[in-house]
Homo-oligomer: A and B are copies of this chain.
Amino acid sequence: MQKLTILKIGGKLLDDDTQLGSALSAFANIAGAKILVHGGGKKGSEISRRLGIEPQMVEGRRITDAATLEVVTMVYAGLLNKAVVAKLQALGCNAIGLSGADGNAILAKKRGAGAIDYGFVGDVETVNNPLIISFLENNLIPVFSPITHDGNGQLLNTNADTIARMLAVSLSKNFEVKLLFCFEKNGVLLDPTDDDSVLPSLDTETYEQYRASGVISEGMVPKLDNAFAAKNGGVEEVWVCGVEGISGQKGTQILLQTEAILR
C-alpha cells in the first residue's frame, strides 16, 4: 500500500511564528502523499476576547455557543487556514485549505447535551475518502481546519486531534498511514519540567500506569487517548512529537501492548 503521512500541528506551536515556520518547512519536505491538520492555538480565544466574547472552557474543551462558533469559523477556517496554505504554497507545496463542509470532506454530528452542553461541537461521523484520494492523486495537499458540518447547513467546532485521528483511521483502508501529533514539546515527557525526559515509546499498559500515578498530566490525556484510539483503529504508525520529529523518528511512538512486548 502507498504511504500517507498525516501531520497534526497544534498547541503553542501555532502561536509561535518561528516554530510554525519550521513545522511547515518540515511538512513541505515530507516525500509522498501527506495531509496537514491544524488546531486553533490561542488566536481563537484572543479574537474572541477582543470581540467581547469571553471563552468558556470545561475540561480543556471549548463551549461553543453561536457567537463562539462564528469566531472559531473565522479564525480557524479563515485566518489560520489561509495563512498556513499561503505559506505552504510559497514553499512549493500545493496546499488546499479545507473545512469538513468543503466537498463534504468530513461529516459530523452535533454532540447531544449530556452533563455538559458543549454547544455547536461536532463528533466526526464520516470521512470522504474518495474526495481526499482524488486530491492526493492530483498532487493537492489537503490542509484541514478543525471545523466540520452536519450536512444540514450547520457548521460545527471539532477537536483537531480527533479530526487527525479519524482521517488516519479512515484512510488506513487505502494507505499505510503514519500519524504525527506534533506540538511544542519533543514528545511525551516523563517529567513535565524536563524537556529531555521524552519517552521513546508508550504502550497501553504503561500509559494506564502513568495516568493512574499522575506522571502523565491532565492536558496530555485527550491527545494520548486520540493517539491510542488511532493505533487501535488500525493506523500503522503513531507518534507524539515536536517539530524535530516531523522529519525523523524522534518523539514518543505509540504502541499496542503486544507490539511493545515484541520490541
**Chain A residues close to B by CB (< 8 Å):** 47, 50-52, 70, 73-79, 81-83, 85-87, 89-90, 94-99, 101-104, 134, 138, 140, 147, 149, 151-155
Point out the residue from B47, B50, B73 that lies within 8 Å of A83, measured CB to CB.
B73
Do A99 and B77 have beta carbons less than 8 Å apart?
Answer: no
Q: For residue A155, which residues in chain B have a CB less than 8 angstroms away from its CB?
A: 82-83, 86
Point out the residue from B82, B138, B153 that lies within 8 Å of A73, measured CB to CB.
B82
Do B99 and A104 have beta carbons less than 8 Å apart?
Answer: no
Chain A interface SS verdict (over half): helix
Do B99 and A97 have beta carbons less than 8 Å apart?
Answer: yes
Known: A74-B78, A147-B82. A96 touches B89 (CB 8 A): no
Point out the residue from B78, B79, B138 that lies within 8 Å of A134, measured CB to CB.
B138
Point out the residue from B50, B90, B99, B102 that lies within 8 Å of A153, measured CB to CB.
B90
Do A89 and B153 have beta carbons less than 8 Å apart?
Answer: yes
- Output the nearest chain B residue to A138 by Cβ-Cβ distance: B134
Q: How far is the CA of A153 from the CA of B89 in the complex (A)?
A: 7
- Output the nearest chain B residue to A21 by Cβ-Cβ distance: B153
Do A89 and B101 have beta carbons less than 8 Å apart?
Answer: yes
Do A86 and B134 have beta carbons less than 8 Å apart?
Answer: no
Q: How far is the CA of A97 from the CA of B138 in the complex (A)?
A: 18
Do A79 and B90 have beta carbons less than 8 Å apart?
Answer: no
Q: How far is the CA of A68 from the CA of B108 in the complex (A)?
A: 32
Q: For residue A76, which residues in chain B have a CB less than 8 angstroms away from its CB?
A: 78
Do B103 and A140 have beta carbons less than 8 Å apart?
Answer: yes
Known: A47-B51, A52-B50. A101 touches B86 (CB 8 A): yes
Point out the residue from B52, B75, B103, B153 that lies within 8 Å of A74, measured CB to CB.
B75
Q: How far is the CA of A94 from the CA of B131 in the complex (A)?
A: 11
Known: A73-B79, A78-B78, A82-B73. A97 touches B89 (CB 8 A): no
Q: How far is the CA of A90 from the CA of B153 in the complex (A)?
A: 5
Q: How far is the CA of A143 from the CA of B36 in the complex (A)?
A: 22
Do A151 and B89 have beta carbons less than 8 Å apart?
Answer: yes
Q: How far is the CA of A17 from the CA of B47 in the complex (A)?
A: 25
Q: For residue A101, which residues in chain B have a CB less than 8 angstroms away from its CB?
A: 82, 85-86, 89, 95, 97
